[in-house]
Structure 1
């Protein structure tokens, strides 16, 4: 017996038995699409039935270990000196542990089985909340040991997969929560069921509502950092509707607006110190335009644009033009930015200067379903006036 146990644990990857990992790697993950999520989740605005919950649970239980196993293999393929970095090791072992825990759960056959499963699923979501900043620390420390193109390719694959894992997990958690709250009206659901929603998907998402919510949050950050903030003006087809995941749009808009708020405010303060420029801070204008096939969102700010030498790097991971002290660095890491997390929290609410992952992650979120894109146009040196 002891000999058998040693045999099964001798060959392991980040603590996971090799045989368990190999079996999962023999399977292929199924593509995630919005229509598929809707078809699996029931009718919009209606609480999921027990059959829907069990179908979603079985799909989630089958799909997540396959995706987690591929991430474990991806971390195992890193160069030795990179893979032994403590931050990267931490994330790799987290993926391995999550894979092992989910793989060992017995097949879900009843709603009681699902209750146990969602507890493990919620733990996975919570445990993986800090994966991005932890990875960013690791790769900043290992930049000299791995080609920047290879780092970008690794992170694109890892973070794209992370989005898919979270979509699957959060969709099932949302369906289960709304089903429970419909059976027990005294139980508060963390997910609000609307007449147009199916789990985390909204079939009639209003981008303007999401943008207003993001704007309020970023405005509070900006005021806490600079003691002032520009207004956000919404214009165009503000009643536009589209199918999407509101939390994804909220993330993207928050990241883009953080950049716009910071640049606009810093440019205004510099002009005021030089005793030139407008007397009041210029608003940020967000324009919505709707067609039968898509909704476009355009953000215009008075931040003076992006320096030409920085434009080629704006989608590079960990690239930022902000030092931990707040001034421009035009650096992708190194001596100007010694602690990316400190730079993100340079004041009590200083997330205006983020990890340098905001734009590349935003592009991944928008492009996940292959239907959206993110384009940045810079008018370097142009300071937009209120009437522009």
Structure 2
């Protein structure tokens, strides 16, 4: 509770230090009010001494998490609208700090909610009969046996189905080929990994599908190659496509929330108006009836515990033409928060190679100093 309020106080301070014309923007003002409301609500909570006290605290957390689903689209819309009143580097730094802090707060809150649900579950107690669906592979929101191949295949099937539904059954949707260390597994928060993989695959599949038949041999779109490499400390995933690469005029703005050509900035504003809430999860690239993490070959699903439905699973799918322009920078923030990295190399006229490095959580060489500095911002 104290930790959550400490982080809210720092973000309020950051917003108060913005130029007056910036902080009075209606969208940024909305975000400020969200943070102040949460800060004021949390500071009035009495010390938690009993299970009933904790249950009341969990109700407050759930309500706050739901309220803050509007924070990302409103924050980005505000940053785009105030462009020109601050240097792009300053607005990007502010936005990145806000989003990194948001990730840390939601992780803490949802882990607490998940562990509370585990405590209340009948199978939690020592004399209870073991159940097959007791989610023993989860510690709160952390999935202990996250299999890279299964997550990739689940995200690929969801994304392919979404684009097939948007473009039609005859659309040139490329095949996804997964190679390398197919047994690589590691503990991770599944929704975060699904979001990153989902955004990368969505970009690649969409680029290939929209490139045109004239670039395909025998009318068959070239497959997207996914290579998994496992080391003692990391898992590296390379996603390679032949979608034509990133246009040269877009490349300098690839990781920016605020910079970009004026015409694309206006288009992003129009699209963000159609997304009132955003949790930044794989649900943004799936159809509502699909189960993320389900391997089409093996037919088994990896999903969050049934006892607790994370507030990160509230978004329905968005159509392919609804380009928000924040998928890649958001994905990099998620990767870096867990001491990983995301890099992209584009060969214009041919395709893109994306490299996602995942740090295995919990090993002795985890970059705890880096994580601590991120949490403290």
Asked if these proteins are the same fold (TM beyond 0.5), I'd say yes
Using the TM superposition, give the Cα deviation of residue 342 of structure 1 relative to its aligned residue in structure 2, in angstroms: 5.5
Match of 1:295 among 198, 223, 235: 235
Decide whether aligned partners of structure 1 residues 351 and 162 sit closer, same or farther in structure 2, where only a CA change above 3 A counts.
farther
Q: Distance in 2 between matches of 1:106 and 1:351?
A: 46
For residues 320-351 of structure 1, give each alpha carbon's deviation from its aligned partner in whole angstroms, at most 9, with x where no partner exists. Answer: 7xxxxxxxxx6574455551326879xx9415
Decide whether aligned partners of structure 1 residues 102 and 351 sit closer, same or farther in structure 2, where only a CA change above 3 A counts.
farther
Farther-moved stretch of structure 1 (227-236 vs 80-89): 227-236
Using the TM superposition, give the Cα deviation of residue 261 of structure 1 relative to its aligned residue in structure 2, in angstroms: 1.4
Decide whether aligned partners of structure 1 residues 130 and 207 sit closer, same or farther in structure 2, where only a CA change above 3 A counts.
farther
Match of 1:150 in 2: 90
1:367 aligned counterpart, secondary structure: helix
Give 1 or 2 for the bigger CA radius of gyration. 1
For residues 203-262 of structure 1, give each alpha carbon's deviation from its aligned partner in whole angstroms, at most 9, with x where no partner exists. Answer: 332122222222222122211222232222211111101222111101111111111111
Match of 1:213 in 2: 154
**Equivalent residue pairs, number:** 302
Q: Distance in 2 between matches of 1:70 and 1:383?
A: 41
Contact 2:22–2:28 (Cα < 8 Å) also in 1: yes
Match of 1:121 in 2: 61
Decide whether aligned partners of structure 1 residues 290 and 253 sit closer, same or farther in structure 2, where only a CA change above 3 A counts.
same
Match of 1:341 in 2: 272
TM-score, normalised via structure 1 length: 0.72
Decide whether aligned partners of structure 1 residues 336 and 95 sit closer, same or farther in structure 2, where only a CA change above 3 A counts.
closer
- Asked whether 1:91 is paired with 2:35, we answer no
Contact 1:258–1:352 (Cα < 8 Å) also in 2: no
Contact 1:366–1:374 (Cα < 8 Å) also in 2: yes
Decide whether aligned partners of structure 1 residues 222 and 95 sit closer, same or farther in structure 2, where only a CA change above 3 A counts.
same
- Asked whether 1:377 is paired with 2:341, we answer no
1:376 aligned counterpart, secondary structure: strand
1:143 aligned counterpart, secondary structure: coil
Contact 1:306–1:379 (Cα < 8 Å) also in 2: yes
Q: Distance in 2 between matches of 1:364 and 1:332?
A: 25
Match of 1:242 in 2: 186
Contact 1:196–1:202 (Cα < 8 Å) also in 2: yes
- Asked whether 1:267 is paired with 2:267, we answer no
Contact 1:240–1:295 (Cα < 8 Å) also in 2: yes
Q: Distance in 1 between matches of 2:138 and 2:109?
A: 17
Match of 2:330 in 1: 361
Structure 1: gaps (5+ residues): 1-60, 186-191, 321-329
RMSD: 2.4
Q: Distance in 2 between matches of 1:373 and 1:359?
A: 12
Contact 1:260–1:284 (Cα < 8 Å) also in 2: yes
1:287 aligned counterpart, secondary structure: strand
Match of 2:197 in 1: 253
Decide whether aligned partners of structure 1 residues 244 and 267 sit closer, same or farther in structure 2, where only a CA change above 3 A counts.
same
Q: Distance in 1 between matches of 2:189 and 2:199?
A: 16
For residues 6-50 of structure 1, give each alpha carbon's deviation from its aligned partner in whole angstroms, at most 9, with x where no partner exists. Answer: xxxxxxxxxxxxxxxxxxxxxxxxxxxxxxxxxxxxxxxxxxxxx
1:221 aligned counterpart, secondary structure: helix
Task: Point out which structure has higher relative CO (alpha carbons under 8 A, 6+ apart).
Answer: 2
Structure 2: gaps (5+ residues): 126-132, 276-283, 285-316, 353-377
For residues 331-382 of structure 1, give each alpha carbon's deviation from its aligned partner in whole angstroms, at most 9, with x where no partner exists. Answer: 574455551326879xx94156432111111111001132x11010112112
For residues 260-279 of structure 1, give each alpha carbon's deviation from its aligned partner in whole angstroms, at most 9, with x where no partner exists. Answer: 1111111135x37xxx6541
Q: Distance in 1 between matches of 2:259 and 2:2?
A: 37
Q: Distance in 1 between matches of 2:259 and 2:154?
A: 27
For residues 10-159 of structure 1, the aligned pairs below 5 Å read 61-159=1-99
